[in-house]
Amino acid sequence: MLCTDYHVFDNPLVQSDLQVFSIDLSLPHSPETEPDGYAPLEMSTLPSAVTDYMAETVCDMIPIVKPATCSSPLPELVYFIHKMSVRSHMDWQVAIIALIYLHRCKRALPKGAVGNPDTAHRMFLAAVLIASKFVQDANMTVTPRLTNQKLCSLCDGMYTLRDIGDLERAFLKILKYRCWVSHDDIHRFLYKHRADLLL
């Protein structure tokens, strides 16, 4: 269910592109109630240091303005990221490239921009979706490509297929479609953030 009180980014030039990141929705499944056919949360292939750093990265991207009232609570961010990484079978390549995209996005955001409580959830989903498509196109992984439809189904009704498409387009516009990530970019990122990722 959507919050009716939007607190979108202040800059009017980017408001329409970024508004899709500031809608508050909730995730209906609790940690104990995974739908059939998905791996349990304990089976994550990514170390917790990676998912924790992803949560830290999206939390630090933009200040959050909490609405006075909201229809339903959000899933806790670290749990949400961990859950989505397991259910999407996210591998190292996707995780690191998604982090690179999030850092690029942070640099591109206008000063004074603010978001709603689920902005971090939305930024994470958009970055992972685009990273998954990139690594498949670049033949960097054998992991199945994450599609908009699959991501929508993994969200269990938290976002519609249209929401996912809007997130993807808005994130690409923020990045100015700079999606290419070279092996050198990856090595530099890993070296710079080796302490954060416990490498």
Fold of domain 12-25+39-192 = Cyclin A; domain 1 (1.10.472)
Per-residue DSSP letters for 114-165? -B-TTHHHHHHHHHHHHHHHHHHHTT---SPPPPHHHHHHHTTTSS-HHHHH
Q: Which long-range contacts (CB under 8 A, 24 or more apart) does 44-49 make?
A: 44/82, 44/85, 44/86, 45/86, 45/89, 45/90, 45/91, 46/85, 46/90, 46/91, 46/92, 46/95, 47/198, 48/82, 49/196, 49/197, 49/198
Given a cut of 70, whether residue 170 has pLDDT beyond it is yes
Alpha carbon separation from 193 to 38, 78, 90, 186 (Å, rounded): 31, 19, 19, 11
- pTM higher than 0.85, yes or no? no
pLDDT digits (tens, 9 = 90+) for 101-146: 999 999 999 888 889 889 999 999 999 999 999 998 888 766 778 9
pLDDT digits (tens, 9 = 90+) for 75-105: 999 999 999 999 999 999 999 999 999 999 9
Q: Report domain extents, the chain.
A: 12-25+39-192
- Percent of the chain scoring above 90 in pLDDT: 59
| SS3 label, residue 64 | strand
Per-residue tokens: 122: 């939305």
